[in-house]
Amino acid sequence: MALMTGKKCLIMGVANKRSIAWGVAQALHREGAELAFTYAGERLKENVEELVATLPDHDRVPVYPCDVTKTEEIKALFERIAADWGRLDVFVHSVAYAKQEHLIGTFTDISWDGYALAHHISAYSLIETTRYARPLLEAAGGGSILTMTYMASEKVVKRYNVMATAKAALECNVRYLADELGPSNIRVNAISAGPLKTLAASAVKGLTLLRDLVEEHAPMRRNVTLEEVGDVGLFLASPLSRCVTGEVLHADNGYNILSASGSAQP
């Protein structure tokens, strides 16, 4: 039997075929999971529907709206999942946003509005969506929640600015949620992925340089692929990681273990 047979998995954060959420969804699907997707705003609805149409069982794959800045949309999403599925085994939260001006400007110039928006979408949304996902995960006897972070939360990566602070908050949220939800057999983990060329990442100037540095200095001397991060997502979603919670798992070919001088070595 495949690893995820009979598991109901909600995927939040697909924008296009390069999205990390799509990589995780494909890995889960390969192992027999039943999937549902969300899209953020009408503009992305068609993209998500087109991708879902490529799945062999697409007529059984629901696609729901959910903009995480709107509590009523979060509530409506989980009400519909309760009505359609009655339970949830896996919730993939792969969502982040910051205005470009708060990524390219100087750190001291970040406005409260920019800070609040980035933290609302990229960090607080994990708490709010988990609040509504929890009863459905409990109805399944437990489950796995997975989010996406980046090592700019731990060490300064130039130009990540407000997103770095949001990722630090997100990682802390993971630990507190894991502590609270553990007694319900719900695990909460984050993947800290190496740089990938996605829509969200294109807002950060210098992504190509970061990828060049990884290729040159990471212990594995290569960048990660969407498929590789998807497989790590599968691991954290599946019973193989049943004793892992509150963890930030680096999927970056080891780049994070280098010191600044290590990554600057020829």
Q: Tell whether residue 157 is a contact of ligand NAD (CB under 6 A).
A: no
Choose one: 28-36, 95-103, 104-112, 232-240; the region binding ligand NAD (CB under 6 A): 95-103
Q: Tell whether residue 150 is a contact of ligand NAD (CB under 6 A).
A: yes
By CB under 6 A, name the one of 82, 139, 140, 201 that touches ligand NAD: 201
Residues in the chain: 266
Shortest separation between residue 101's beta carbon and ligand NAD, angstroms: 16
Q: Tell whether residue 128 is a contact of ligand NAD (CB under 6 A).
A: no
Which two tokens mark 77?
A: 């999403």
Which entry of 115, 150, 176, 255 is annotated as an active-site residue? 150
Longest Cα pair distance anywhere in the chain, in angstroms? Answer: 57
C-alpha count within 13 angstroms, C-beta hemisphere, residue 246? 11
Instruction: Verify whether residue 160 is a known catalytic residue.
Output: yes
Residue (143 or 195) nearer to ligand NAD, CB: 195
Contact 206, 159 (CB under 8 A): yes
DSSP H helical ranges for the chain: 20-30, 42-52, 71-84, 100-104, 112-119, 125-139, 161-181, 207-217, 226-237, 260-264
Contact 189, 236 (CB under 8 A): yes
- DSSP per position, 88-130: -SEEEE------HHHHHS-GGG--HHHHHHHHIIIIIHHHHHH
**Per-residue string for binding with ligand NAD, 25-44, x by CB under 6 A?**
---------------x---x
Shortest separation between residue 201's beta carbon and ligand NAD, angstroms: 4
Q: Tell whether residue 263 is a contact of ligand NAD (CB under 6 A).
A: no
Q: Tell whether residue 97 is a contact of ligand NAD (CB under 6 A).
A: yes
Instruction: Verify whether residue 132 is a known catalytic residue.
Output: no
Using CB under 6 A, list all residues that contact ligand NAD. 13-15, 19-21, 40, 44, 66-69, 94-97, 121, 148-150, 193, 195-196, 198-201
Active site residues: 150, 160
